[in-house]
């Protein structure tokens, strides 16, 4: 995927759960009022008047033992929270989480139906069905063990010099699927809107190459951070041992990996710094980038990703590439091989046999996030299909769950809200006429993406094999990586969606100036085509 170099861009990928109960170290973002409204509306929708089928208020989510003047949140939502404890395979739980879980059950039913081998299946159903079937074939995955990674492991082992890194990392980079997991190798590369010309797409090279979620995990000096780094070191060593390395060799390799990643972390911007767009735009020529990090063969890299004629790009974090260059000069080839082997197994552990899956879960989910249990395989496979074939799965989802009539009703609500906002802006006494004109111009230019895209993504060139789980994952990543790169140097496609239709989320993208409501969030209790207008608003 493209580089996350602004809060606006990052918001497209991150799936914030507002007002949720949380455990572990995940990002804590609370919108108390939002949850109160959702909790109240959910009780409205769930109770129906038998005479006229109109919603009535069900106060079961309210905790009447709490004084609303003392704690209005607990008064409004306490009843719901008591009845909905956090499941052991989750780190948080909210109305949104429950809706997402309900959606997964629907997606599971869809996938189980189309996973049955049948030559009469539509092409998109065949792809999502075969992908799901391969993912659910646990016995074949267990039997394969680490064998699916052997070709890439051999490529790493056969490296003759650091000069060959530029061509090798191309096949390893398209691995970023989860913002809580750093799965970029050396750096992050992709495409995004040009900050200085929002009508065009530009290539972006950004910081990355870490195994932990953020630079601060490597640099904080408190006891908790130190202990976490020890556990991370032990985890990296364990993964090397699972690859077949002897304990002493695995320990040395793990130390080398942590040393390289810590150096890259020092060259990275903090999360706070990355909220300032002025720090994230440095348009450089290819020659200037090469001068910035001469130890990496950029021309060879660009040729391998199909951008041999590209002349300029946004180097989001120049200091990071200076740090990367220093490490390329300082560390020997053996340490870089260890780094590459670690990132290869790290990115793919969730799709290998259970020894890798469990080791990965124990650190990245249990230790880092506080998750108590691994999700059942069917849930993980549903998520994987959505990550790789989101719009193909989305077609089947909206056919069942979101009619064209529901889309029009939701769009009508959005348009009515826009008209109300227009009235508010027009009547503001403190806003000048010129400012009002610009505000209304932007308001009228908003693109409303409701439910599902008008043009579905074409997956015809993506090969899916119902007997090759990891191969499907790798090919899916490569497909998306090159789909993103194919946008570079072209006008922005305002019809392109950043989230799949089943996603339970909604957001406004200030750079694209669009409103996004996937069909997944336009479901009861948040929205219903059969409900009264009041709770839908």
User: Tens digit of pLDDT for each residue in 184-201?
Assistant: 899 999 999 999 999 999
Looking at the DSSP assignment, which residues form a beta bridge with residue 283? 314
Instruction: Note if the bond before 525 is cis, omega within 30 degrees.
Output: yes
Q: Find the CATH number of the domain harbouring 172.
A: 1.10.1380.10
54 within domain boundaries: no
372 within domain boundaries: no
| DSSP helix/strand/coil, 222 | coil
The average pLDDT across 147-151 equals: 94
321 within domain boundaries: yes
The average pLDDT across 51-55 equals: 48
The residue segments making up the domain with residue 265 are 146-351
CA dihedral 489, 492, 497, 499 (to 10 degrees): 60
The average pLDDT across 149-176 equals: 89
Distances (CA, A) of 143 to 126, 132, 173, 250, 527: 25, 18, 27, 24, 45
327 within domain boundaries: yes
Among 513, 388, 507, CA closest to 15: 507
% pLDDT > 70, the chain: 88
CA dihedral 525, 531, 534, 535 (to 10 degrees): 0
Taking the C-alpha atoms of residue 9 and residue 27, their distance in angstroms, rounded to an integer, is: 17
296 within domain boundaries: yes
Q: With beta carbons less than 8 A apart as the criterion, state whether 148 and 470 touch.
A: yes
Q: With beta carbons less than 8 A apart as the criterion, state whether 468 and 133 touch.
A: no
Q: With beta carbons less than 8 A apart as the criterion, state whether 156 and 341 touch.
A: yes
307 within domain boundaries: yes
Taking the C-alpha atoms of residue 244 and residue 154, their distance in angstroms, rounded to an integer, is: 13
State the pLDDT confidence band at 537, using cuts at 50, 70 and 90. confident
Total number of domains in the chain: 1
Buried b (16+ CB within 10 A) or exposed e, 360-372: bbbbbbebbbbbe
User: Tens digit of pLDDT for each residue in 479-532?
Assistant: 999 999 999 999 999 999 999 999 999 999 999 999 999 999 999 989 988 888
Taking the C-alpha atoms of residue 369 and residue 238, their distance in angstroms, rounded to an integer, is: 19
443 within domain boundaries: no
Whether 471 has a pLDDT exceeding 50, the answer reads yes
Looking at the DSSP assignment, which residues form a beta bridge with residue 514? 447, 509
Q: How many other C-beta atoms lie within 10 A of the C-beta of residue 291?
A: 11
Residues 6+ apart with CB under 8 A from 311: 285, 286
Given this model, what pLDDT does residue 57 score?
A: 59
Given this model, what pLDDT does residue 283 score?
A: 97
Given this model, what pLDDT does residue 38 score?
A: 46
């Amino acid at each position: 995927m493209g580089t996350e170099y602004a809060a606006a861009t990052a918001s497209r990928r991150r799936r914030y759960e507002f007002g949720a109960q949380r455990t572990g170290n995940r990002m804590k973002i609370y919108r108390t009022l939002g949850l109160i409204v959702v909790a109240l509306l959910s009780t409205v929708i769930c109770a129906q008047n038998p005479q006229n089928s109109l919603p009535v208020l069900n106060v079961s989510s309210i905790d009447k033992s709490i004084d609303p003047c003392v704690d209005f949140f607990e008064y409004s939502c306490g009843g719901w929270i008591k009845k909905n404890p956090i499941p052991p395979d989750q780190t948080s739980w909210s109305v949104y989480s429950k809706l997402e879980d309900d959606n997964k059950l629907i997606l599971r039913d869809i996938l189980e139906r189309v996973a049955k081998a049948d030559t009469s299946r539509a092409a998109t159903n065949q792809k999502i069905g075969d992908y799901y079937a391969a993912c659910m074939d646990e016995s074949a995955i267990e039997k394969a063990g680490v064998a699916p990674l052997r070709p890439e492991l051999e490529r790493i082992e056969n490296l003759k010099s650091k000069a060959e890194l530029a061509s090798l990392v191309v096949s390893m980079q398209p691995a970023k699927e989860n913002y809580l997991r750093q799965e970029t190798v050396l750096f992050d590369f992709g495409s995004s809107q040009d900050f200085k010309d929002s009508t065009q797409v530009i290539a972006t090279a950004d910081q990355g190459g870490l195994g932990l979620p953020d630079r601060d995990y490597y640099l904080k000096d408190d006891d908790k951070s130190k202990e976490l780094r020890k556990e991370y070191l032990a985890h990296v060593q364990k993964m090397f041992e699972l690859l077949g390395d002897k304990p002493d060799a695995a320990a040395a390799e793990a130390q080398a990996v942590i040393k390289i990643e810590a150096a890259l972390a020092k060259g990275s911007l903090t999360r706070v710094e990355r909220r300032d767009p002025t720090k994230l735009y440095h348009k450089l020529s290819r020659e200037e980038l090469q001068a910035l990090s001469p130890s990496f063969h950029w021309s060879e890299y660009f040729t391998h990703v199909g951008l041999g004629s590209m002349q300029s790009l946004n180097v989001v974090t120049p200091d990071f590439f200076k740090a990367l260059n220093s490490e390329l000069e300082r560390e020997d080839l053996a340490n870089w091989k260890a780094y590459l082997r670690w990132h290869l197994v790290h990115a793919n552990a969730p799709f290998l046999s259970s020894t890798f899956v469990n080791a990965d879960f124990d650190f990245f989910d249990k230790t880092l996030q506080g998750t108590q249990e691994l999700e059942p395989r069917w849930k993980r496979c549903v998520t994987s299909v959505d990550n790789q074939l989101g719009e193909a799965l989305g077609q089947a989802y909206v056919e069942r769950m979101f009619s064209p009539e529901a889309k029009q009703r939701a769009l009508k609500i959005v348009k009515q809200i826009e008209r109300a906002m227009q009235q508010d802006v027009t009547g503001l006494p403190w806003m000048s006429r010129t400012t009002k004109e610009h505000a209304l111009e932007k308001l009228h230019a908003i693109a409303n993406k409701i439910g599902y895209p008008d043009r579905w993504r074409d997956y015809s060139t993506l090969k899916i094999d119902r007997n090759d789980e990891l191969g499907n994952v790798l090919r899916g990543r490569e497909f998306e990586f090159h789909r993103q790169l194919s946008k570079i140097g072209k006008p922005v496609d305002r019809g392109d969606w950043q989230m799949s239709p089943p996603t339970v989320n909604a957001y406004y993208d200030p750079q694209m100036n669009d409103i996004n409501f996937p069909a997944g969030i336009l479901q009861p209790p948040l929205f219903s085509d059969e409900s009264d207008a009041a709770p839908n608003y």
